[in-house]
Structure formats: C-alpha cells, structure tokens
Amino acid sequence: MPSPLNGGKIAVTPGSARRGEQRTNSMEDQTPAIHEVVAYTSQLEVRGEVRAWPPRRILDVLNSEQIPYLTVDQASIVPLSRWGKAQPAGAESVILNKDEIIMVWLVRETKVDRPLLATAYKIPQRVTAYAGPFVAQGTLHIIREVTLAQALDAMSERFIALTEPSVLCLSVAELVLRGGIVLGLNKDKVMAMQVA
C-alpha cells in the first residue's frame, strides 16, 4: 500500500520488498498513451483522442473486458447520413458503447511496448471484410496452416487488427480511408470475410 507520508510515490506491499527495500510506483510516473482515432458505428463517425492509462495499444484498450465503453476526448461527431454535408459537432468527450463500434481507424499513436511473441507463429494474409456499411481491406496475421475460418475462430479478442488497411463506405461514396496504421475491426460485426 502506498505510503501517505511521501505522496504515494513509494509502494511497499507484502512480499514486494526485501530487507527494507522500497519499490517506486512507476504507474504514477507514467503519462497516458494518446491515440488519435476515428471510430465508426453503423450510423456515426467519431474523431478524437483515446487516452490509455496505464499506457497500452489501442487494440488493448478496445479488447479490455473491464470497460464496456470507449471514451473519445476532444471529439467531433457526425452522422454518416450527413457525412460531407454538415459540420461535425464538437464535444469535450464522447462515450461509445464498444458493442456498437464496427471499427476504429488509428490515425496516430503513442508507441507502446508490446510483447514480441504476439505474431511469432503467424503469417500475414490479405483479406477483405464486410462489416455494416463498410468494406475493409488489410493484412490479418493468422496462425500458420489453418483456414481463414479456423483462424478467426481461434482469435479470442473482440477487435481484430488489420494492418495496412483501406476502407470504403457503401452508403457514403466519398468516405474512403487509405494509408492507415491499423484498423481495429469488431469481429462480431463482420458479416463476411474473404482472402483478398
């Protein structure tokens, strides 16, 4: 438990200190990872920043089961039906139900360390996915020697990553996304997927 005498900077927990050692609580010293994103539901586009504390990748935030909502700060929001026709409404913060999010386009990120073994036994596979009014293409990293269906079934995460993504919207012809870092695609919203 942090010591109240030193502003909580030193944490000594049972079994964590040896012979009077004290461990610095690095969580308090960390700044949040800030990810610039564009999130899409079947009816909305929400642009803004997602602050992840402790620092984590955007897919880790999306796949966190403890928090059912995604908070987008410094947000602009526009209905897809008014996309390109109306000025987006601004908001200090918008809360999105993760169950309703179809995809999250990562525009810019704070680099966060991640385990090196995440894709060690996977191979890149170009795919096309159909989700809501969107058609997304990108690279999905799948386990070797399995079919696309088996690979999707083996993925326990709700949001899967497509790298080198591009997206077009069938209901808004002008809405085309290219040159992205990663696309977090809600696996439960995918209607169809094929090898590209």
Domain ranges of the chain: 33-108, 116-195
Of the candidate CATH numbers 2.30.30, 1.10.10, 3.40.50, 1.10.3470, the domain formed by 116-195 belongs to 2.30.30
Q: Mean pLDDT, the chain, as a whole number?
A: 84
Q: In this model, does residue 158 exceed pLDDT 60?
A: yes
Same fold, 33-108 and 116-195: yes
- pLDDT for residue 146: 83
- pLDDT for residue 14: 39
* Residues 172-177, mean pLDDT to the nearest whole number: 95
* Residues 74-90, mean pLDDT to the nearest whole number: 94
| CATH 3.40.50.920 is the classification of domain 33-108 | no
- pLDDT for residue 19: 40
User: Residue 111: pLDDT band by 50, 70, 90 thresholds?
Assistant: confident
Q: Which two tokens stand for residue 27?
A: 């969580």
Give the closest residue to 181 by CA, choosing from 117, 135, 138, 131. Answer: 138
* Residues 156-175, mean pLDDT to the nearest whole number: 95
- pLDDT for residue 118: 52
User: Residue 15: pLDDT band by 50, 70, 90 thresholds?
Assistant: very low
Q: In this model, does residue 8 exceed pLDDT 90?
A: no
Q: What is the dihedral of CA 116, 178, 41, 54, to 10 degrees?
A: 30
